[in-house]
Amino acid sequence: MSKWLLAAGILSLATTGIHLFAGGPEVHVPLLASSPSALLKTYVSLLWHATSAILLINSITLLFAAVNGRYRAPLAAAVIVQYLAYAVLFIGYGLAHLGSLSTTPQWAAFLLMAALAAIGVRSGKGSPSTVTA
């Protein structure tokens, strides 16, 4: 078992929970209240829930990779790339549109999760590629 990937998976689950239970009232509900059309409200909800699904799937993927040496590297790599992309988006939009990273602190969580997962993959190199579930 990779404790690094386990930590990344647990942090990813926590991030999913924060997205759902704190982000919903803070972001999703106000967006729905301010949307002028049914079509825009539909897209806001679709994107919100798609993000929720992706976060949950990535969390499960990291947890599975933590206990499964055979598929550890490719599974973790897929999540690492996504989480690095999310970090770059939060950093870029935070700086470009808000002039600050403190308004969009999600970048830090995505960088941390990607780093933990990368350490987990690297620390597993050279070990037998066996299923240890």
pLDDT digits (tens, 9 = 90+) for 66-117: 999 999 999 999 999 999 999 999 999 999 999 999 999 999 999 999 999 9
Q: Summarize the chain as % helix, strand, coil (round to 5).
A: 80, 0, 20
pLDDT at 36: 80
pLDDT at 42: 93
Token pair, residue 23, equals 């982000």
Which residue type, as a one-letter code, is found at position 63?
L
* SS3 label, residue 70: coil
Token pair, residue 85, equals 């992309």
Token pair, residue 120, equals 């987990």
pLDDT at residue 44 above 90? yes
Give the global pTM.
0.87
pLDDT at residue 131 above 50? no
pLDDT at residue 129 above 50? no
